[in-house]
Amino acid sequence: MFSVPVETALYELLGVSTTATEDEIKKAYRKKVRRCTSLLNPDDPEAGQRFQEMAAAYEILSSVETREAYDRYGMEGMSRGGAGGGFGPGMDPADIFAELFGASMGFGFDFGPGSRGPRRRKGEDSNIPYEVTLEDLYNGKTVKMNMEKEVVCGVCKGSGAKGSAKPKQCVKCEGKGWTMVTTSLGGRLGTHRAMCTECEGHGEKLREKDRCKKCKGNKTVKEKTRQEIYIERGMADRQRIVLAGAGDEEPGIPPGDVIFTLKTKPHDSFERSGSDLLTTVHITLSEALLGFSRILLTHLDGRGVHVTSPKGKIIKPGDSIVLRGEGMPHYKTPDHKGNLYVMLEIDMPEESWLKTIDPQALEAILPPKKPEMDPKPAVVDEVPFEASDIVDVRETPFPAGSNFFDHPSGFQFGDGDEADWEDDEDDEDGEPECRPQ
């Protein structure tokens, strides 16, 4: 930071100048990642690679020591095991991600082997989205599932080698663990160091014939396991259930975690808002006028909920009631529950019903109709009565059949950089960050 950096590839990757402040670097990284995830296709390995590169660049540039080492020596100063100005405790990009975005990453992106960043302090976490019903979250549930995970090979104890065979220096990178690659960043060509694909950054490699027979040199083998998770009463949507150490094993570092992220399926009759629930119950016109005393609804645990309306109360359109303590259980203190809000919708009788009664008798008992306007306006027009659907009028901003994007008004929606709509501080040319270049 005090002299001209020997290398600038990491700065270019994040799109900041070499004199950027810590804050600017953090901001730039967040922005890149945010855009990255909005474009992220979990099946696209290059997107993962790209994200990984950005995470690595951020890790290096966000700490004063590593940034100084990078400015002075370039990636050379960052190489594996580089003493002194090397990495602090290695950080999993997934951890950085979690730190930036909380527990909200539910897309199950897997940082698979071969795309790993710098040194990590533990094995890969397995992120598994898990769908639950509102009933599951209300009642609690134990789920058993069969899974497969990587375990350290028992034959070679994780060395990957047959007997006492030792790995040989990688020919491709001459033991450095990286090679120079040319990439295009924002239209400019640049070279930077990338992990050697031959030895996966290790700098050395076992010869075919020296590899362990069981794991074929992979150091780990797949093993079937049975996992059990307990969905506790009152857990939230997107809440994570972490099985610490139940994830993939890698030699020399503690195993990763298995992380289930709950995703609530929409419910047919209940909506949840924190610890409260919302539902709609239909009542008849007579119930609205004369009251009711009946089972209004079936709850998420199958219980009938019986409610009696107060004597002499008329229920009007738009009225709602609150059933105290009939909401969701509080997480960890499930005996405490939120409230259940019930919208009462009044169903008017069918027209066929009118034919079965004497309208004059009905008129005699109902409150009187509205009297004629007094004084009467000087001009009165007769306009025909025609039924319509006001909902349609409100929900269609443009005439039916017209396309939002080629509306004849001359608006040019979708033309140009759409990212400007999402991110007003975005000042770039809209080049996608996570797509293969």
Which residues of the chain form contacts with Zn ion (CB under 5 A)? 153, 155-156, 170, 172-173, 196, 198-199, 212, 214-215
Q: Is the CB of 215 or the CB of 434 nearer to Zn ion?
A: 215
Q: Is the CB of 169 or the CB of 412 nearer to Zn ion?
A: 169
Contacts of 28 (CB under 8 A, 6+ apart): 14, 15, 16, 20
Q: Is the CB of 69 or the CB of 173 nearer to Zn ion?
A: 173
**Which region holds residue 318: left if phi is over 0, alpha if psi is between -120 and 50, else beta?**
left
Residue 22 carries which side chain, given as an amino acid letter?
E
Task: Round to whole Å and give the CA distance between 27 and 31.
Answer: 6
What is the distance of C-alpha 291 from the center of its chain?
45
Tokens of 72: 């002075």
Q: Is the CB of 128 or the CB of 215 nearer to Zn ion?
A: 215
The phi and psi torsions of 410 (rounded to 5 degrees) equal 95, -5
Which helix H or strand E contains 141, and what residues bound it?
A: strand 141-152
State the minimum distance, in angstroms, from the CB of residue 405 to Zn ion.
49
State the minimum distance, in angstroms, from the CB of residue 2 to Zn ion.
33
State the minimum distance, in angstroms, from the CB of residue 75 to Zn ion.
14
State the minimum distance, in angstroms, from the CB of residue 409 to Zn ion.
59
Bridge-partner residues for 337, per DSSP?
Answer: 329
Q: Which of 166, 251, 172 is nearest to 210 (CA)?
A: 166
State the minimum distance, in angstroms, from the CB of residue 207 to Zn ion.
14
Q: Is the CB of 194 or the CB of 242 nearer to Zn ion?
A: 194
Q: Is the CB of 198 or the CB of 428 nearer to Zn ion?
A: 198
Could you tell me the sign of the dihedral formed by the alpha carbons of 38, 39, 44, 48, in that order?
Answer: negative
- What are the distances in angstroms from CA 314 to CA 75, 99, 296, 411? 77, 53, 17, 50
Check: CB of residue 369 under 8 Å from CB of residue 353: no
Q: Is the CB of 206 or the CB of 434 nearer to Zn ion?
A: 206
Task: Round to whole Å and give the CA distance between 413 and 403.
Answer: 10
Q: Is the CB of 155 or the CB of 348 nearer to Zn ion?
A: 155
State the minimum distance, in angstroms, from the CB of residue 170 to Zn ion.
3
- What are the distances in angstroms from CA 310 to CA 54, 293, 323, 366, 435? 63, 9, 14, 21, 63
State the minimum distance, in angstroms, from the CB of residue 10 to Zn ion.
21
Torsion of CA 93, 97, 99, 105, to 10 degrees: -140
State the minimum distance, in angstroms, from the CB of residue 175 to Zn ion.
7
State the minimum distance, in angstroms, from the CB of residue 153 to Zn ion.
3
Q: Is the CB of 136 or the CB of 249 nearer to Zn ion?
A: 249
State the minimum distance, in angstroms, from the CB of residue 81 to Zn ion.
15
Per-residue b or e along 347-383, where b marks 16 or more CB atoms closer than 10 Å to that residue's CB:
eeeeeeeeeeeeeeeeeeeeeeeeeeeeeeeeeeeee
Q: Is the CB of 196 or the CB of 344 nearer to Zn ion?
A: 196
| Beta strands in 315-364, from DSSP E residues, in sequence order | 320-323, 329-330, 333-337, 340-347
Q: Is the CB of 153 or the CB of 288 nearer to Zn ion?
A: 153
- What are the distances in angstroms from CA 120 to CA 116, 203, 322? 9, 17, 51
State the minimum distance, in angstroms, from the CB of residue 255 to Zn ion.
17
